[in-house]
A = this chain, B = another copy of it.
Amino acid sequence: MNETKTLRQYLRHRGLKVTQQREEIAQIFLGSKRHISAEQLHQQIREIYPKVGLSTVYRTLKLLVEAGLASQRRLGERITRFEPVAGDEHHDHFICINCGAIIEFENQDLEDLQEEVAKKHKFTILRHNLELYGYCQKCRRR
């Protein structure tokens, strides 16, 4: 678990405390399925660490995002979902409006073109959100 180290470093760097709960939450989060909600993660954590509260899950997810270990998304639903970030990778999403499937993809041309458009408008991009809604392979025919 290298990410655990990254979290500890981030916390110390900010003068925050390395607590049991933060380590437990990070541990479970990093091993959980992608695009998980705070509530779902809380359920999973409780199976192993029954005393952890939902508030602390919300707070720790925020820290993980700040530390660059998680990314936060609102993919068409009203709830926020989180996913672990491996290194400096980036990806975007297809979302099937029929079955709810989330398909991740990466395309450097798309990223480059965005930068080009930004340059034209004298805008500096720090991050972006691209969500493509429609039908997945299984759902597209009827």
- Which A residues form the contact surface with B (CB < 8 A)? 74, 94, 96-97, 103, 105, 107, 109-110, 113-114, 117-118, 121-137, 140
Q: How far is the CA of A96 from the CA of B126 in the complex (A)?
A: 10
User: How many monomers of this protein are in the complex?
Assistant: 2
Nearest residue (CB) in B for A127 is B133
Which residues on B sit within 8 Å (CB–CB) of A132?
114, 118, 123, 125, 128
Nearest CB on B from A133, distance (A): 5
* Interface pair B131/A118, CB less than 8 Å apart: no
* Interface pair A129/B131, CB less than 8 Å apart: yes
Q: How far is the CA of A135 from the CA of B118 in the complex (A)?
A: 10
* Interface pair A133/B140, CB less than 8 Å apart: no
Which residues on B sit within 8 Å (CB–CB) of A133?
125-129
Nearest CB on B from A11, distance (A): 24
* Interface pair A126/B134, CB less than 8 Å apart: yes
Nearest CB on B from A111, distance (A): 10
